[in-house]
Amino acid sequence: MITLADIKNDPVFHTLINNSNTYLRARGYTEHGFRHVSYVSEKTAKILTELGYDSRTVELGAIAGYLHDVGNMLNRKYHSISGANLVYYELRRLGMDPQEIAAITMAIANHEVEIGEAVSPITAALILADKSDAHRTRANRLANEERPSIHDRVNLAITDTKLYLERELQTITLELCFDQSICQIMDFFEIYLSRMEMCKKASTLLGCRFRLVINELEFLGVLTED
């Protein structure tokens, strides 16, 4: 069976991830390279593990997390669809089972805010992991540099991020420490509100309630109700 280690050691996937990050950096987006995909892979696997899913589902989630952004090599718009297609053919090249490929590519194709839906546990865990990666280490430009994008400003303002599951309370919490001397919390919601709504739906599919906590204040009421 294909493992995450096999994926990490494959030179084609290495090239796709590296070029995706290069493209997005040129467009003024935050870091989407090996640090980001490793974080998403780890968090996806952790969520599935803590919810009691079997080890192979966890492994497939880790692979989906690691490969979820390769479509950005082509274009930001609909990168989830183009990425799923790229991953499909490369996993076929490696000889992965078609049903496992389907599980991975379904998750990748549905992580993009504009078109995605939490349609499976792997998809839901990937969405939560991806959208929770907000932190100043992702910024490509410093706050005092000329014209940092809103993506950089918001991420520079986030000094600490925690995503954790409390199974006994059936909650998944994203907790942020936000430095308002860099930008305002409303700037966060300008680019993250739809992502947080997506996390809420993903948590529901996993049988949990989503909580967003910023500077020890819960902002769940900001999110729209179903």
How many C-beta atoms lie closer than 10 Å to residue 66's C-beta? 25
Give the confidence band of 222 by pLDDT, cuts at 50, 70, 90.
very low
Task: Mean pLDDT check: name the lowest of 41-55, 79-93, 129-143, 182-196.
Answer: 129-143
- Classified by CATH at the fold level, domain 4-222 comes out as Hypothetical protein af1432 (1.10.3210)
Interatomic CA distance for residues 81 and 171, integer angstroms = 30
Q: Comparing 182 with 175, which gets the higher pLDDT?
A: 175
Question: Encoding tokens for residue 133?
Answer: 């990666």
pLDDT tens per residue across span 72-122:
999 999 999 999 999 999 999 999 999 999 999 999 999 999 999 999 999
pLDDT tens per residue across span 23-45:
988 887 888 999 999 999 999 99
pLDDT reading at 142 higher than 70: no
Mode of pairing for the β-strands spanning 171-178 and 209-214: parallel
Spans of all domains in the chain: 4-222
> Please, are residues 86 and 75 in contact by the beta-carbon 8 Å criterion?
no
